[in-house]
Structure 1
Amino acid sequence: MNEQASIVRTGRKFDQVLEGAREVFMADGFEGASVDDIARAAGVSKATLYSYFPDKRLLFMEVARNECARQADAPMDLAGACCTPRDVLCAAGRHILSVSLSEFGLRMFRICVAEADRFPDLGRQFYESGPMVVRARLRDYLKGAAARGELQIEDFDLAADQFAELCRADLVPRLIFNIDTEFSAEERERVIAGAVELFLARYGG
């Protein structure tokens, strides 16, 4: 978005605004978050906040973009190293599941669903700023692995999506529907191991 592209993302006060907005959005949701509360949490004036973000939706998307960029940095770090597909997929799977089970991931999902009718582009922009970034990195890794003969894949987008969904099996639905709120390391590893085994059984070279 052009308005977003013009925002200067530097400075101590800008960081304060983002941190304050993150705190309020996560606690109150998008609609419940007031500019007054965000300015108070950030320790800045409303004028300062508006100088960075004239629209609350832009502020919400910047919070989402900033957090997603931070969380998306890790999953494909192993792709350039001398690791087997199993090693890389295990690392990527742990990252995908960890983000999906995080407080941020859960609250962002609920906010986007809750605001889907009034702000239909909110979910799309969030998806593009976070999940789509991870998907693209995973797809690029899969292309490289296939080129090296390590995997046999024709539809890389579908394979990346399939792997991500396998990593969310069981635990994420239980979290979304409030059946369980915490999961042990053993439960997480069980899901990741199953996802990697099934994926490699289908696409292994």
Structure 2
Amino acid sequence: MNAPSTTIRKGRKYDDVLEGARRVFMTDGFEGASVDDIARAAGVSKATLYSYFPDKRLLFIEVATTECALQAEKGISDIDMTAPPREVLTRTGKHFLSFILSQLGGQIFRICVAESDRFPEIGQAFYKSGPMLIRDVMIHYFNGAMERGELRMDDPGLAADQFAELCKADLWTKKVFGIQREFAADEITRIVDGAVDTFLARYGV
């Protein structure tokens, strides 16, 4: 699976291939995932697997971006973007933090970081499918909130980045370094509430 092709074909076995690959990548990582194991997990032949994804990088990118996009879209669809800032920020922060602290979110992040030096397109695709999508939505929300007189800021993009970093305080560091693996709802609430209070102290009207 080292061909440089960037072509992805979708057909009736596409979802099976994607789900099988997701299970293998999350267990074995990008480097450890073998074509044989992915094909077996997907219930398809190697020839079928190659016909969909001629390059393992393409397959992992598709798995990672699909998962991140689903999570981002789920979080966005559940939020009323005309609601007051505290409500929008709290719900967005909890969804964001819950995903990056989840087993799936952590595994995707670690694999993307581990492989991004050799294959920068993996990290770039991950960023575009999740973090950048959420960032763009928050910028759009901030602009609307400023028009309604609810927020005041000069750089909505910077503010979106700052809010994401505030939500990663304490727990994300523990997750990355393996200090803590499970996180209770009240721990997430504590961090997000603190992030929202700090953010509104700076940008609230």
Tell me the equivalent position of 1:132.
132
Q: Does 1:172 align with 2:172?
A: yes
TM (norm. structure 1) is: 0.93
| Cα 1:198–1:119 shift into 2, 3 Å | same
The within-5 A match list for 1:8-47 is 8-11=9-12, 13-47=13-47
Q: Shift of the alpha carbon at 1:160?
A: 0.4
Q: Which residue of 2 aligns with 1:143?
A: 143
Amino acid at match of 1:197: D
Alpha-carbon distance in 2 for matches of 1:184, 1:117: 33
- The equivalent of 1:157 in structure 2 is 157
Residue 9 of structure 1: CA displacement? 3.6
Verify the 8 A CA contact 1:16 1:42 in the aligned structure 2: yes
The count of corresponding residues between Structure 1 and Structure 2 is 201
Classify the secondary structure of the residue corresponding to 2:74. Answer: coil
**Once the 2 structures are TM-superposed, how far is the Cα of residue 181 of structure 1 from its aligned partner?**
0.8
- CA drift at 1:119: 1.4
Cα offset, 1:102, TM superposition: 1.1
* One-letter amino acid of the structure 2 residue matched with residue 31 of structure 1: E
2:161 and 2:106 map into 1 onto residues whose CA distance is 19
More divergent stretch after superposition (160-169 vs 113-122): 113-122
Counterpart-to-counterpart distance in 1, 2:187 and 2:147: 33
> Which residue number corresponds to residue 80 of structure 2?
79
Correspondences of 1:66-145 after superposition (within 5 Å): 66-77=66-77, 78-81=79-82, 83-145=83-145
**Which aligned runs of 4 or more in structure 1 are off by greater than 4 angstroms?**
none
Q: Which amino acid aligns with 1:162?
A: Q
The 2-side partners of 1:14 and 1:127 are apart by 23
Q: Is the 8 A contact 1:100 1:106 kept in 2?
A: yes
Give how far 1:10 is off. Answer: 4.7
Q: CA RMSD in A?
A: 1.6
Q: What runs of 5+ residues in structure 1 fail to find an aligned partner?
A: none
The 3-state SS of whatever aligns with 2:87 is helix
The answer to whether 1:187 aligns with 2:187 is yes
Find the aligned partners of 2:167 and 2:203 in 1 and give their Cα distance: 16
Secondary structure, counterpart of 2:163 in structure 1: helix
Question: In the alignment, is the contact (CA less than 8 A) between 1:76 and 1:138 conserved in 2?
Answer: no
CA–CA distance in structure 2, aligned partners of residues 152 and 183 of structure 1 = 33
Match of 1:196 in 2: 196
3-state SS, counterpart of residue 179 of structure 2: coil
Q: Percent identity?
A: 60
Question: 1:75 aligns to what SS in structure 2?
Answer: helix
Distance 1:162 1:9 in 2: 38
